[in-house]
Structure 1
Amino acid sequence: MADASEDYRGYRITVTPIKDCEDRWDFEYRIGPFGGGEQVRSRSKTANGYMTTEAACVAGIEVARTEIDNLLALDSTKAN
């Protein structure tokens, strides 16, 4: 059960697969600035679940990417 990490648009995403109550895999992800610094977001998914840790990690990275895209879009709107 290894964590998955990815750098995306200036942020570091770290996803941890976690076992849910129905013996499926869910995930928790953390987003922080690339190169260190304060964590921006930490979230977990707790509905439905995935059959493998790999599937949970891929799903977690996809959800975190979407959140980063949304954060950057909000920041650019505030700047205008």
Structure 2
Amino acid sequence: MSATFAPVLDQTLAAWATLPLQLGGLLATQLGQLLVGVVAVGVAILVARLVLRVAWRLVTIAVVVIAALLLFSTLGVNVPL
């Protein structure tokens, strides 16, 4: 990393590190805690959607490969596993 960006990065990281302390009063209320909970659920749903998208693709590929192997074995083609 360039030496000119290091101070800016340090200041940015320091600002992010102190953000929970600055918002402590807002998050101490019931509405603040509810907001944190809803945001956490939203992040979990977004991550789950990405994981399930990949999982569905893997399952679809597996079904196609296994169906092709079954078809070949039914037709008498020797498919070594």
TM-score by length of 1: 0.37
- Point out the structure with the larger helix share: 2
Q: How does the TM-score come out when normalised to structure 2?
A: 0.37
- Larger RCO: 1 or 2 (CA < 8 Å, sep 6+): 1
Structure (1 or 2) with the greater strand fraction:
1
> Which protein has the larger Cα radius of gyration, Structure 1 or Structure 2?
2
